[in-house]
C-alpha cells in the first residue's frame, strides 16, 4: 500500500462503517450495497489480471459459479458448515484456474481470452446438466445463511462481512501491486524482452495472478449464494463475465480503484434507471458508450485528467 | 590464462536460409573484456540473443561456467549470472529510473504473491534491500539524482547508462553490452569506457558489441571479429586491427590470392 491509497481506503472504511446507520432499517439499500461489494471482489481480481498481467478473462462468471455452487451444494446436500464450503470453493477454483492458466498463459497474445471463454461455457453447461447436484436450470434453493461459530449472519452483519472482506482483499491487492510481484508484472507490460533478461518469469506470475483472481471470484460466489439462498445457472453465464469485464474497463483497468468504482457504478446504474422502464437497457447502453468514448481509459483516469486540466 | 567463463562451441543459428551464426567457436576468460565486432548483419546481436536464451540455437552449445545454457529460458540464464543491455533501448517506460533498477533484483529476491499480499515482515526487509541495492547501482553509474524520473524522460546517453545500471543490479558474473556507445557524444563515450573498466574491476567479465573502434581498441583485452556469422579473427586488439581479412570485411575489399 502506498500513501496515496490511504485516504481513499479510509474514506471507504468510514462510509461502510456508517452506511447501515444511515440506511436505517432499509433492507433494500443494504442488499444493494452487498451486491456492490460482491461484484467489487470479482472486479478487483479481474483488474489485476487485466491491468497488470495484461490478460483478459471471459470466464470469471464460472469461478463465481464454482464458489456459489460449492457453497450451495456442500451445505444443502452434504451438511458442510458454510465456512468449510467457502474454503472448499476457493480450493477448487484455485486448482481449476491453475489447470486452465498454466498451459494458456505460456503463450503470448490473447489465448487466455479464448480459453476462458470456452471454460466458462463448459461450466455453464455443467451447472445446467448436472441436475442431481446443481438442480439444473431450475436452480438450487434452500441454501442456509452464512454462520460463523454457529451464529447466522444477516442484515447489517452480513453487509459488514462482505465489505470487511472487500477492504481486506483491497489491501492485499494493493500490497501485491506495490511489491516485487507487482513490479515484475508491470515490467512484463513495459518490455517482456527486458523483463526476461532481468530474471522475471512472466508466465509464472501471470498464472499466479489468474489463480488469485479466480479465488476472489469464488469468495464472491460463496457470499452471493449464502446471501440470496437460491442460485441458478443464468447468474453465471457469459453475459455476467462480460459485465464483469465492463466494470473493470468502465472504472479503469490501470488501478485497482478503478475496478471498485466500475463495480459500484454498473451495479447501481440499473437501479437508478429503473424508472425509465422500457428505455432502461437503451439508456444503460448509451451511458456506457458515452463513458468509453470520452474516457477510454476509464472514469477514474478520465476524472483525474479533468482535475489536472482545471488545476 | 585464467578460468573460462563462457565457452561457445560449433554454435549455429539459421533463420530460414540465412546463416546468422555459423560454426562459431570461442571462449571468454574470467575478468576479461572481450569485444565482438563486425560489419552490420555479421551476427553480433544474434550471438548475444543466443547466449541470453532469447531464442534457441540451431546447433552447437553455449556453456557458462561449465553449465549448458541451451534450452534455458532468459530468466533462468539471468539467475545464473548473465545480464545484458539492448541495442535498441528496452527500458520499462511505465516506471521510474529507480524502479527500472529495482526490477533487476528480481532473481535475487523471493517474495511471492501471498507473502507480498500479506506484507510479512520479511517482505518489508527485502523491499528495503532491493531499494538500497538499486540506489547503489544508480550511484555507480552517476544516476542517483535521476532516481524518481520516468525512465524514458532521460536523455539518450543516460538511458544507456541506466540500462547498464539495471543489468549490474542483477549481480552478473558476465555482462553483455550491446552497442553501449551508439548515440553517445564524445564526452559520454569517454565516460562509458571508463565505466566499463570500473565494471571489470568489480570482477565482472564483460562482452561488448561495439562499432566505435576507439573504444574497442582502448578497453578490450581480446577482440572477436564476425562476418556473415563466421569468426574471421580473434586476438589482441592490435593484431586484429592489422588482420587482412578484417580490413577486407570492413572496407569491402576482395581478397586476392597473393
The answer on pLDDT for B2 being more than 70 is no
The pLDDT value recorded for residue A231 is 95
CB contact under 8 A, A181 and B112: yes
Give how far B120 is from chain A: nearest CA, Å: 10
Which residue from A minimizes the CA distance to B55? A193
Using DSSP bridges, classify how beta strands B59-64 and B4-15 pair: parallel, antiparallel or unpaired.
antiparallel
The pLDDT value recorded for residue A311 is 62
A137 touches chain B (CB under 8 A): no
Give how far B49 is from chain A: nearest CA, Å: 10
B53 CB neighbours in chain A (<8 A) are 196
Please give the Cα distance from A8 to A251 (Å, whole number).
Answer: 15
Contact (CB, 8 A) for A198 and B175:
no
The answer on pLDDT for A123 being more than 50 is yes
Contact (CB, 8 A) for B207 and B179:
no
The answer on pLDDT for B255 being more than 60 is no
CB contact under 8 A, B127 and A190: no
Query: Where does the pLDDT of residue B253 fall: very low under 50, low under 70, confident under 90, or very high at 90 and above?
Result: low
The pLDDT value recorded for residue A75 is 94
Give the residue among A234, A227, A231 at the shortest CA–CA distance from A165. Answer: A227
Residues comprising chain A, all counted: 311
The answer on pLDDT for A1 being more than 80 is no
A183 CB neighbours in chain B (<8 A) are 95, 99, 102-103, 106
CB contact under 8 A, B95 and A186: yes
In this predicted model, what pLDDT tens digit does every residue of A241-257 receive, in sequence order? 999 999 999 998 888 99
β-partners of residue B84 are: B176
Query: Is the Cα dihedral A181, A182, A188, A191 positive or negative?
Result: negative
User: Terminus-to-terminus CA distance in chain B, angstroms?
Assistant: 35
In this predicted model, what pLDDT tens digit does every residue of B128-137 receive, in sequence order? 999 999 999 9
State CA A243 to chain mean position distance: 10
DSSP labels, chain A? --GGGHHHHHHHHHHHHHHHHHHTT-HHHHHHHHHHHHHHHHHHHHHIIIIIT----S-HHHHHHHHHHHHHHHHHHS---HHHHHHHHHHHHHHHHHHHHHHHTTSSSTHHHHHHHHHHHHHHHHHHH-HHHH-GGG-EE-PPPPEETTEEP-THHHHHHHHHHHHHHHHHHHHHHTSHHHHHHHHHHH-HHHHHHTT--HHHHHHHHHHHHHHHHHHHHHHHHHHHSEE-GGGGSHHHHHHHHHHHHHH-TTSHHHHHHHHHHHHHHHHHGGGGGGGHHHHHHHHHHHHHHH-TT-HHHHHHHHHHHH-
Residue A57's region, left for phi above 0, alpha for psi from -120 to 50, else beta, is beta
CB contact under 8 A, B91 and A194: yes
Give how far A132 is from chain B: nearest CA, Å: 37
Using DSSP bridges, classify how beta strands B222-227 and B67-68 pair: parallel, antiparallel or unpaired.
unpaired
Which residue from B minimizes the CA distance to A213? B113
Interval A5-34 mean pLDDT: 83
Best residue of B72, B89, B117, B121 to probe chain A, by most A CBs closer than 10 Å: B117
Domain ranges (residues) in chain A: 3-237
In this predicted model, what pLDDT tens digit does every residue of B12-33 receive, in sequence order? 999 988 999 999 999 999 999 9
DSSP labels, chain B? ---EEEEEEEEEEEETTEEEEEEEEEEEETT-EEEEE-STTSSHHHHHHHHTTSS--SEEEEEETTEE-TT--HHHHHHHTEEE--SS----TTSBHHHHHHHTTGGG----HHHHHHT-HHHHHHHHHHHHHHHHHHHHTT-GGGTTSBGGGS-HHHHHHHHHHHHHTT--SEEEEESTTTT--HHHHHHHHHHHHHHHHTT-EEEEE-S-HHHHHHH-SEEEEEETTEEEEEE-HHHHHH-HHHHHHHHTPPP---
Which residue from B minimizes the CA distance to A203? B75
Q: For A162-166, B168-172, B238-242, which range has the lowest pLDDT when averaged over its residues?
A: B238-242
A197 touches chain B (CB under 8 A): yes
Which residue from A minimizes the CA distance to B123? A179
A191 CB neighbours in chain B (<8 A) are 90-93
Give the residue among B4, B7, B51, B35 at the shortest CA–CA distance from B196. Answer: B35
Give how far B99 is from chain A: nearest CA, Å: 8
How large a percentage of chain B has pLDDT more than 90? 66
B144 touches chain A (CB under 8 A): no
The pLDDT value recorded for residue B258 is 43
- pLDDT, mean over chain B: 90
| Beta-carbon contacts of residue A122 (< 8 Å; ≥ 6 apart) | A62
The answer on pLDDT for B250 being more than 80 is no
Please give the Cα distance from A55 to A63 (Å, whole number).
Answer: 16
ipTM of the complex: 0.87
Interval A3-26 mean pLDDT: 81
A209 CB neighbours in chain B (<8 A) are 113
CB contact under 8 A, A193 and B54: yes
| Beta-carbon contacts of residue A234 (< 8 Å; ≥ 6 apart) | A137
A186 touches chain B (CB under 8 A): yes
Give how far B254 is from chain A: nearest CA, Å: 39
A128 touches chain B (CB under 8 A): no
Best residue of A97, A199, A201, A254 to probe chain B, by most B CBs closer than 10 Å: A199
The answer on pLDDT for A3 being more than 90 is no
In this predicted model, what pLDDT tens digit does every residue of A28-64 receive, in sequence order? 888 899 999 999 999 999 999 998 888 899 999 999 9
Domain with CATH 3.40.50.300 in chain B: 1-81+172-258
Query: Where does the pLDDT of residue A25 fall: very low under 50, low under 70, confident under 90, or very high at 90 and above?
Result: low
The top-scoring range by mean pLDDT among A4-18, A147-161, A287-301, B76-90 is B76-90
Please give the Cα distance from B112 to B129 (Å, whole number).
Answer: 16
| Beta-carbon contacts of residue A131 (< 8 Å; ≥ 6 apart) | none
A184 touches chain B (CB under 8 A): yes
Give how far A173 is from chain B: nearest CA, Å: 6
Give how far A213 is from chain B: nearest CA, Å: 12
The pLDDT value recorded for residue A271 is 87
Please give the Cα distance from B238 to A269 (Å, whole number).
Answer: 76
Using DSSP bridges, classify how beta strands B205-209 and B59-64 pair: parallel, antiparallel or unpaired.
unpaired
A193 touches chain B (CB under 8 A): yes
Give the residue among A194, A237, A263 at the shortest CA–CA distance from A65. Answer: A237
Measured over all CA atoms, what is the biggest interatomic distance in chain B, rounded to whole angstroms? 75
Give the right CATH number for B1-81+172-258 from 3.40.630.30, 3.10.20.30, 3.40.1380.20, 3.40.50.300: 3.40.50.300
The pLDDT value recorded for residue B111 is 83
The pLDDT value recorded for residue B24 is 93
Give the residue among B85, B26, B3 at the shortest CA–CA distance from B233. Answer: B26
CB contact under 8 A, A183 and B127: no
A167 touches chain B (CB under 8 A): no
In this predicted model, what pLDDT tens digit does every residue of B46-77 receive, in sequence order? 999 999 999 999 999 999 998 999 889 999 99
In this complex, the residue of A181, A189, A196 whose CB is nearest that of residue B75 is A196
B113 touches chain A (CB under 8 A): yes
Amino acid at each position: 500500500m502506498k500513501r496515496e491509497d490511504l485516504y481513499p481506503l479510509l474514506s471507504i472504511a468510514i462510509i461502510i462503517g456508517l452506511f447501515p446507520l444511515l440506511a436505517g432499517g432499509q433492507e433494500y439499500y443494504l442488499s444493494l450495497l452487498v451486491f456492490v461489494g460482491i461484484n467489487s471482489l470479482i472486479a478487483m481480481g479481474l483488474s489485476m489480471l487485466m491491468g497488470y498481467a495484461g490478460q483478459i478473462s471471459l470466464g470469471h462468471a464460472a469461478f463465481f459459479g464454482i464458489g456459489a455452487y460449492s457453497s450451495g451444494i456442500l451445505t444443502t446436500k452434504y451438511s458442510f458448515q458454510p465456512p468449510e464450503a467457502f474454503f472448499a470453493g476457493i480450493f477448487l477454483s484455485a486448482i481449476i484456474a491453475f489447470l486452465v492458466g498454466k498451459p494458456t498463459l505460456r503463450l503470448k497474445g490473447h489465448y487466455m481470452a479464448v480459453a476462458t471463454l470456452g471454460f466458462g461455457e463448459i461450466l455453464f453447461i455443467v451447472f445446467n446438466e448436472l441436475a442431481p447436484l446443481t438442480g439444473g436450470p431450475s436452480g438450487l434453493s434452500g441454501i442456509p445463511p452464512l454462520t460463523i461459530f454457529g451464529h447466522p449472519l444477516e442484515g447489517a452483519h452480513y453487509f459488514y462481512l462482505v465489505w470487511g472482506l472487500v477492504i481486506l482483499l483491497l489491501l492485499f491487492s494493493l500490497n501485491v501491486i506495490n511489491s516485487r510481484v507487482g513490479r515484475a508484472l508491470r515490467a512484463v507490460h513495459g518490455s517482456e524482452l527486458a523483463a526476461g533478461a532481468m530474471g522475471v518469469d512472466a508466465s509464472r506470475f501471470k498464472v499466479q495472478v489468474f489463480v488469485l483472481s479466480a479465488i476472489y471470484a469464488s469468495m464472491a460466489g460463496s457470499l452471493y449464494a449464502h446471501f440470496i439462498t437460491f442460485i441458478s445457472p443464468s447468474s453465471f453465464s457469459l453475459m455476467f463475465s462480460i459485465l464483469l469485464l465492463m466494470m473493470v474497463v468502465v472504472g479503469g483497468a490501470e488501478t485497482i480503484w478503478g475496478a471498485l468504482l466500475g463495480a459500484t457504478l454498473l451495479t447501481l446504474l440499473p437501479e437508478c434507471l429503473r424508472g425509465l422502464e422500457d428505455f432502461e437497457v437503451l439508456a444503460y447502453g448509451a451511458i456506457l458508450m458515452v463513458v468509453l468514448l470520452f474516457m477510454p481509459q476509464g472514469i477514474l483516469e478520465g476524472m483525474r485528467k479533468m482535475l489536472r486540466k482545471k488545476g | 590464462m585464467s578460468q573460462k567463463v563462457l565457452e561457445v562451441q560449433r554454435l549455429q543459428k539459421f533463420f530460414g536460409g540465412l546463416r546468422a551464426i555459423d560454426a562459431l567457436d570461442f571462449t571468454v576468460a574470467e575478468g576479461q573484456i572481450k569485444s565482438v565486432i563486425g560489419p552490420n548483419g555479421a551476427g553480433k546481436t544474434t550471438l548475444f540473443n543466443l547466449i541470453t536464451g532469447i531464442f534457441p540455437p540451431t546447433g552447437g552449445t553455449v556453456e557458462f561456467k561449465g553449465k549448458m545454457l541451451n534450452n534455458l529460458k532468459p530468466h533462468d540464464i539471468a539467475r545464473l549470472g548473465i545480464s545484458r543491455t539492448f541495442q535498441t533501448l528496452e527500458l520499462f517506460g511505465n516506471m521510474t529510473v529507480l524502479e527500472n533498477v529495482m526490477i533487476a533484483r528480481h532473481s535475487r529476491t523471493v517474495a511471492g504473491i501471498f507473502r507480498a499480499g500479506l506484507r510479512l515482515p520479511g517482505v518489508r526487509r527485502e523491499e528495503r534491500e532491493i531499494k538500497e541495492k538499486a540506489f547503489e547501482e544508480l550511484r555507480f553509474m552517476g544516476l542517483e539524482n535521476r532516481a524518481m524520473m520516468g525512465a524514458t524522460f532521460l536523455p539518450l546517453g543516460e538511458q544507456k547508462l541506466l540500462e547498464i545500471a539495471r543489468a549490474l543490479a542483477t549481480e552478473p558474473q558476465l555482462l553483455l553490452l550491446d552497442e553501449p556507445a551508439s548515440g553517445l557524444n564524445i564526452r559520454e563515450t569517454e565516460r562509458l569506457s571508463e565505466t566499463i573498466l570500473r565494471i571489470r574491476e568489480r570482477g565482472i567479465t564483460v562482452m561488448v558489441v561495439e562499432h566505435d573502434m576507439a573504444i574497442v581498441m582502448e578497453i578490450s583485452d581480446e577482440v572477436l571479429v564476425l562476418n556473415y556469422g563466421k569468426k574471421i579473427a580473434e586476438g589482441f586488439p592490435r593484431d586484429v586491427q592489422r588482420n587482412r581479412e578484417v580490413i577486407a570485411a570492413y572496407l569491402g575489399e576482395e581478397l586476392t590470392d597473393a
